[in-house]
Amino acid sequence: MSLFDRRSLLLALLALPAAACGFTPVYAPGSGAAALRGAVQVGTPDSANAFALTRALGQRFGPVTAQRYTLSVQVQIKEEGGVITPTSEIDRFTLLGGATFTLIEDDTGATAADGSLRAFTSYSASGTPVATRAARVDAQERLMVILADQIVTALVSAAP
């Protein structure tokens, strides 16, 4: 048996357990998660952080083509000092973020899914004030992307 044939055999054997476990892609045609693509309208943002979260959610759900659901999200962010230097200056901050979401079915007004999520990220404050401000804004945007990913994961896993 040549080396090429052994590799083919091993790859075929490795694929067998995945085929036998009932694995189906999340966005397979006809799945509940596929029904969310292009069907979720995210509520109007009321802050820069909410706008970043709305933008990230819009990228994950795709442009609304046939609205079936409305997603409302409330965002909370708390900033804490993390690393204190010997001269009592804070060099690193941690952003603690939370999001509470509700997915409402437009036809019936029923709550299709809801939940509350938390995440965190950090940024350095050891540079100039301008660099620290840029790091803070970047950390807030990263936090919103993390929360958007968690919301999408929760909604996709809750989809029928």
| Residue 19 within a domain | no
Range of the domain at 42: 27-158
The predicted-structure confidence for 8-49, as pLDDT tens digits, reads as follows 766 666 666 655 566 677 777 777 778 888 899 999 999 999
135, amino acid identity: A
* Number of structural domains found in the chain: 1
| Residue 99 within a domain | yes
Q: What is the pTM of this model?
A: 0.80
| Pick from 58, 76, 73: nearest CA to 114 | 73
| Residue 47 within a domain | yes
138 has a pLDDT exceeding 80: yes
- Read off the pLDDT of each residue in 102-123 and give the average, rounded to a whole number: 94
Band of pLDDT at residue 141, cut at 50, 70 and 90:
very high
DSSP letter string, 38-50:
TTEEEPPP-SHHH
- Read off the pLDDT of each residue in 125-137 and give the average, rounded to a whole number: 90
CATH number of the structural domain spanning residue 133: 3.30.160.150
| Residue 59 within a domain | yes
The 3-state DSSP class for residue 29 equals coil
Pair type for strands 111-124 and 90-105: antiparallel
Structural element, H or E, at residue 23: none
Residue 49, burial from CB neighbour count under 10 angstroms (0-12, 13-18, 19+): buried
Listed range (32-41, 103-112, 114-123) with the worst mean pLDDT = 32-41
| Residue 20 within a domain | no
| Residue 9 within a domain | no
- Read off the pLDDT of each residue in 133-137 and give the average, rounded to a whole number: 94
More confident residue, 89 or 54: 54
- Read off the pLDDT of each residue in 118-138 and give the average, rounded to a whole number: 91
| Residue 48 within a domain | yes
**What is the model's pLDDT at position 1?**
47
Q: Within its chain, how far is the Cα of 83 from the centroid?
A: 27
Residue 128, burial from CB neighbour count under 10 angstroms (0-12, 13-18, 19+): exposed
Instruction: Decide: 80 and 122 in contact? Cβ < 8 Å.
Output: no
151 has a pLDDT exceeding 80: yes
| Residue 17 within a domain | no
